[in-house]
């Protein structure tokens, strides 16, 4: 019966797109015609009958029918009724054929790769227990007042695109912070405000490398960097990571890099800290091959034990390191503001390209953040966040302690918002992560981050987005299940 078909389709459309009623009816009728369920010449029930059968207002039904008549799907004949037009396309028979993913979607080879490999929904570190990000300590009311203040006093130029690399007070605040806390020798003019690390990476690869150039990146790797390099057509050359960070060998140097991407202060996702000797090696390789080093200092604000780790950029004497960071983890992800520090000789080119490619703006938001920092609120927010995450980290480490031994060791717990539980190479860590997931304990398999390696097995466990109460409750459950799996030896 037509009314049942239409009601079923309307319910589906409402759940999927939350369309208004007249649009739901229009779409349901249009799809019935295109799918051949209403054939050319078929007569529709009257608007009064449809009103009663579908329990809709007559205005809703008439609006949908009129739109279909205007678009040529139907025609109304005075005194006779409304009919499906003879010229509507006939439904094509479905033929079973084999399609490659590219043929099926119509995407390019690059588009297919970008949409099907290293997907963020699978690799983003999420809480190992169900829950949402804890931003309860963020001073929302204060932040709103600062934003409202700058909207009220905004000059016309603040509503335009920014060609200067960002709001000067914010760039000055970033430069001051990096000089003091990260040992980055930076001047204000070298700081470019971006929409985050992802945009910083894309800008670097677009300006520093050509299609087909080689990029060295860590293996296991940060999925966001992999996507940025794939999108710009670079050739990925994975370099294995050990306990001292990225570890290039003579064999790697046979594939000279144009760009080297690294997370030296806290390797993502293993947590390894790059040693001084390894840092000097990377800078030497960059000098030899005239390569550029992209230093992603994504969570340096959260170091819980041991001395602070200085930046790689602080050791650079040849101006070959570009340093990037973000405000998202201290404040909130939706802020979408980050920063990129470029060598002096690249400043003009980067500002011009950033303006041309990205049309940067959000100047009132940048002004509010600059004042937030200048008034000391950023330091306070960072202090509160560091204390909160340190407590969650301590609680998780205590819960996991019974699991540790010859078969399982923790790496990367000195810093950041996640740790890595390393397991023997014989373990199927993906299957283990899946089994834990069925119990509501969301962790990620370390091998899922690998490009070429097959010898890195373990679990990547995030605690930054798990409330302390949930860690206390679910941490022992996670440990119990892990102990059982380790006893099986799989």
- For residue range 241-281, what is the model confidence (pLDDT) as tens digits? 999 999 999 999 999 999 999 999 999 999 999 999 999 99
Least confident segment among 108-112, 296-300, 312-316: 108-112
Q: Confirm if 269 and 247 have CB atoms less than 8 A apart.
A: no
With a CB cutoff of 8 Å and minimum separation 6, the contacts of 93 are none
pLDDT reading at 208 higher than 60: yes
For residue 355, the surrounding DSSP H or E stretch is: helix 347-358
The position carrying tokens 């050319």 is 40
Q: Categorize the per-residue pLDDT at 228 as very low, low, confident or very high, splitting at 50, 70 and 90.
A: very high
| pLDDT score of 90 | 60
pLDDT of 17: 64
pLDDT band at residue 21 using 50, 70 and 90 as cut-offs: confident
CB atoms inside a 10 Å sphere around CB 220: 25
- Report how far residue 223's alpha carbon sits from residue 226's, in angstroms, rounded to the nearest whole number: 5
Of the segments 11-20, 144-153, 163-172, which one has the largest average pLDDT value?
A: 163-172
Task: Give the residue extent of every domain in the chain.
Answer: 2-84, 111-118+136-379, 386-488
pLDDT at residue 103 is higher than 90: no
**Alpha-carbon torsion, ordered 194, 196, 198, 201, to 10 deg:** 50
Most confident residue range from 59-73, 92-106, 311-325, 431-445: 311-325
Q: Which ranges in 401-461 belong to alpha helices (H)?
A: 429-438
| Residue 134, pLDDT score | 57
Minimum mean pLDDT range among 42-51, 153-162, 261-270, 344-353: 153-162
Residues 6+ apart with CB under 8 A from 295: 262, 263, 264, 311, 312, 313, 321, 322, 323, 324
Q: Does domain 2-84 have CATH number 3.40.50.10320?
A: no
- Contact between 234 and 215 under an 8 Å Cβ cutoff? The reply is yes
**Residue 109: other Cβ atoms inside 10 A:** 10
- Global pTM value: 0.77
pLDDT of amino acid 331 = 83
Q: CA 410, 412, 416, 419 torsion: positive or negative?
A: negative
Q: Which run of H or of E encompasses 8?
A: helix 2-17
The half-sphere exposure of 68 on its side-chain side, counting CA atoms within 13 A, is 29
CA atoms within 13 A on the CB side of 375: 11
- The string of pLDDT tens digits covering residues 157-166 is 777 777 789 9
- How many residues can be counted in the chain? 490
How far from 104 is each of 93, 99, 100, 110, 112, CA to CA, in Å?
17, 6, 6, 14, 10
Position 133 confidence tier, pLDDT thresholds 50, 70, 90:
very low
Of 248 and 81, the structure prediction assigns the larger pLDDT to 248
**pLDDT (mean) for 129-137:** 53
Q: Which two tokens stand for residue 290?
A: 């005239």
Query: In this predicted model, which residue has the larger pLDDT, 109 or 254?
Result: 254
Specify the CATH number of the domain 386-488.
3.90.1150.10
pLDDT for the residue 11: 76
The CATH number given to 111-118+136-379 is 3.40.640.10
User: What pLDDT, on a 0 to 100 scale, did the predictor assign at position 131?
Assistant: 39
Residue 259's closest CA among 329, 196, 320? 320
- Contact yes or no for 54/14 (Cβ under 8 A): no
3 state DSSP class of 165: coil
What is the overall mean pLDDT for the chain?
87
Q: Which residue in this structure is represented by tokens 């000067």?
A: 168
- Phi, psi at 411, each rounded to 5°: -125, 155
Per-residue pLDDT for 94 more than 60?
no
């Amino acid at each position: 019966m037509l009314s049942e078909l239409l009601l079923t389709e309307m319910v589906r459309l409402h759940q999927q797109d939350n369309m208004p009623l007249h649009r739901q009816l229009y779409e349901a009728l249009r799809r019935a015609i295109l799918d051949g369920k209403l054939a050319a010449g078929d007569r529709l029930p009257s608007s009064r009958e449809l009103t009663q059968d579908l329990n809709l207002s007559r205005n809703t039904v008439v609006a949908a029918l009129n739109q279909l008549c205007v678009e040529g799907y139907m025609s109304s004949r005075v005194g006779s009724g409304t009919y499906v037009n003879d010229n509507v396309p006939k439904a094509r028979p479905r033929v079973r054929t084999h399609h490659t993913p590219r043929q099926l979607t119509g995407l390019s080879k690059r588009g297919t790769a970008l949409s099907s490999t290293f997907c963020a929904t699978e690799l983003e570190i999420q809480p190992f227990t169900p829950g949402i990000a804890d931003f309860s300590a963020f001073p929302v009311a204060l932040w709103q007042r600062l934003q409202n203040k700058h909207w009220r006093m905004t000059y016309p130029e603040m509503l335009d695109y920014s060609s200067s690399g960002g709001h000067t007070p914010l760039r000055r605040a970033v430069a001051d912070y990096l000089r003091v806390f990260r040992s980055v020798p930076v001047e204000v003019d070298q700081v470019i405000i971006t929409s985050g690390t992802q945009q910083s990476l894309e800008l670097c690869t677009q300006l520093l490398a050509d299609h087909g150039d080689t990029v060295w990146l860590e293996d296991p790797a940060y999925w966001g960097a992999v996507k940025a390099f794939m999108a710009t057509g670079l050739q990925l050359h994975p370099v294995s990571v050990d306990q001292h960070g990225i570890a290039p060998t003579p064999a790697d140097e046979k594939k000279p890099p144009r760009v080297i991407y690294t997370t030296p202060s806290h390797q993502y996702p293993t947590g390894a800290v790059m040693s001084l000797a390894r840092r000097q090696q990377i800078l030497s390789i960059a000098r030899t091959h005239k390569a550029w080093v992209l230093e992603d200092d994504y969570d340096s604000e959260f170091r819980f034990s041991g001395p602070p780790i200085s930046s790689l950029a602080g050791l650079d004497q040849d101006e070959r390191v570009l340093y990037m960071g973000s405000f998202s983890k201290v404040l909130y992800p939706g802020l979408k503001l980050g920063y990129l520090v470029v060598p002096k000789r690249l400043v003009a080119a980067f500002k011009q390209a950033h303006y041309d490619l990205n049309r940067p703006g959000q100047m009132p938001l940048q002004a509010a953040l600059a004042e937030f920092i200048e008034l000391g609120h950023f330091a306070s927010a960072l202090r509160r966040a560091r204390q909160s995450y340190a407590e969650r980290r301590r609680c998780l480490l205590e819960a996991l302690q019974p699991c540790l031994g010859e078969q399982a060791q923790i790496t990367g717990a000195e810093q950041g918002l996640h740790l890595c539980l390393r397991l023997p190479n014989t373990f199927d860590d993906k299957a283990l992560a899946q089994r834990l997931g069925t119990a509501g304990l969301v962790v990620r398999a370390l091998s899922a981050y690998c490009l070429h390696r097959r010898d890195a097995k373990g679990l990547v466990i995030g605690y930054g987005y798990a409330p302390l109460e949930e860690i206390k409750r679910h941490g022992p459950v996670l440990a119990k299940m892990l102990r059982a799996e380790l006893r099986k030896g799989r």
